[in-house]
Amino acid sequence: MAGNRPGSPRRINGVMKATGGDIRDIERHTRWLVQTGNRLQSVLPERLQGHWQLAAIDADALVLVAESPVWATPLRGYQQALLDAAGEIIGHRPAALRVRLAKPVNRRPRAASPALSHEAVRYLENAAEGMVDPRLADGLRRLASRRRGG
């Protein structure tokens, strides 16, 4: 769970408590993370830049959040360079690199299914009445009830 280990990303309520609810401290820290992330990006090949974000950095860990496993795997291959660069930035080398995956973003909203006509609904309900298998009959009734429309 976030915030339970040193170096791990923290939940917003924990950040708010730690800063006394001062939004300016949170903004400063966020800017610092972005700037530090940009400095870390510069030690990587161009193809890996922009596919991850810095989540946390301290003596225990450098925590990165990658867009997908496709980007997480090569980031791990640059562990030494990233940890060395992080050490230069914060004054001591983090003990470990942790690469986490961002939650997937559903890029395409699911298209709405067209509503069934009254005739189609009647057909499904009639078919359900004639089914020997009760599970199939229930499935046909559910389909007819969910798709009622124009």
How far apart (Å, rounded) are the C-alpha atoms in residues 41 and 114? 46
Average pLDDT, the chain: 83
pLDDT at 53: 92
Identify the three-state secondary structure at position 65. Answer: strand
How far apart (Å, rounded) are the C-alpha atoms in residues 30 and 28? 5
Identify the three-state secondary structure at position 52. Answer: strand
Give the dihedral sign, CA 86/90/96/98.
Answer: negative
Query: In Å, what is the CA distance from 67 to each residue of 37, 77, 104?
Result: 14, 16, 8
Instruction: Kindly report whether the global pTM for this prediction surpasses the value 0.85.
Output: no
Look at residue 5 and tell me whether its pLDDT is greater than 60: no
